[in-house]
Structure 1
């Protein structure tokens, strides 16, 4: 009797895992609106088996997303234990991008605050953010990440990387763009500079090269940083 019960429970666990795996694949292929019947077909079980484990589509989606977050949490914890802080942080971000781009739609759930108010998913999302924040702060203390970014910045940047990788059919080319983007988090890569953009009307800059200019208190506004840029602009106007 006990053996039979244990066997039934093992079968139920296996069926649940099959449904979760099939649901993750189906959503990656067809989006969040994939029918439960399609998920059951991919899992090789009947629709009744799906409903026994997940009484609603919402419950199934929550379980799939929570599982994905738990996988990422485990990845972050492993990296924190095995690698130096900066290496662990950037490796974790690449794990997020690669896994999420394959499974699809997870970034909407990770970044949203109100779309999925289910307790299981809320707990997983909170733990994920804690792991991300811990890795970020450790890398910043080690001097490997610029100090002016916070976890929300990293989440937004990572979500953009997922979209970039998903949109590129050439995966190596997409990964190259992802690496270039994430390198902007390093202090040795000043992708932003303390000078005005040339289209900012409140901050004068050279109309030719973009170098910041000191505004004149009186007279006509200065347009160029020097004679070289002034002559270059003049030649361009003549050629046009």
Structure 2
């Protein structure tokens, strides 16, 4: 486990002490997670920790204080992505129309799966495909897609014969291939949406 983890209240706590982190430590933790996500995606999962620390604007010692092992950092990036995905689904469901929610959701899902692709195999090798982290990720992705699709179908703006796993697999196919530019991913998702809308 990483040396820092988000508490249920949204406060980041140190896993070693169980106490909330100081504001500067929490900021460094968040900067490192964001930097790791960007550097890992840019380098297809192959990124020295020194590059991540540099992108975050902190020293390598700060990185190791928060994440003693590379796996700790990968788990933190993956978990942060899952939590952000679940939060985004709730926001979209509350704030926009069912079709706009599904549209935005699938575009968010592309970004999530792109990050997942570069981390997935390394995490599977280290913690197993059926680990809590990875099974939770699959559940969030499928349940959230089902909720957004059902809202659009109930509103009469999405085909009734489309299933959540259809969308997840198609989005996965748009993103899991190596060397696909982000603009091409966006175009492919838009083609999928055009086929779903009625």
**TM-score, normalised on structure 2?**
0.72
**Residue 151 (structure 2) aligns with:** 138
- Residue equivalent to 1:90: 103
SS at match of 1:134: helix
Once the two structures are overlaid, the 10-residue window that deviates more, 46-55 or 57-66, is 46-55
Q: Does 1:33 align with 2:33?
A: no
- Cα distance in 1 for residues equivalent to 2:68 and 2:196: 43
Q: Deviations over 1:88-125 (max 9, x none)?
A: 1122112323x348xx3325768xxx655443454344
Matched, 1:182 2:189: no
Work out the number of aligned pairs and report it: 174
Gap change, CA 1:116 and 1:24, over 3 Å in 2? farther
Shift in Å, 1:41:
2.1
> Cα distance, 1:159 vs. partner?
2.0
Q: Give the CA deviation at 1:13.
A: 0.6
Distance 1:167 1:84 in 2: 30
C-alpha distance in 2 between matches for 1:23 and 1:176: 26
Which structure 2 residue ranges, 5 or more long, are not aligned?
A: 1-18
Check 1:52–1:185 CA distance in 2 against 1; reply closer, same or farther (3 A cut).
same
> Over aligned residues, Cα RMSD in angstroms?
3.1
Map of 1:17 onto structure 2? 30
In the TM superposition, what whole-angstrom CA distance separates every residue of 1:107-158 from its partner, at most 9, and x where no partner exists? 5768xxx655443454344233322211112222222222223222111111
Counterpart of 2:86 in structure 1 is 73
Are the aligned partners of 1:63 and 1:121 in contact in 2 as well (CA < 8 Å)? no
Q: Which aligned pairs between 1:133-212 and structure 2 lie closer than 5 A? A: 133-162=146-175, 167-168=180-181, 171=183, 175-186=186-197, 188=198
| Residue of structure 2 equivalent to 1:105 | 115
Cα distance, 1:80 vs structure 2? 0.5
Q: Summarize the Cα distance change of 1:91–1:105 in structure 2 as closer, same or farther, 3 Å threshold.
A: closer
Q: Which structure ranks higher in relative contact order (CA pairs < 8 Å, sequence separation ≥ 6)?
A: 2
- Secondary structure at the aligned position of 1:105 is classed as helix
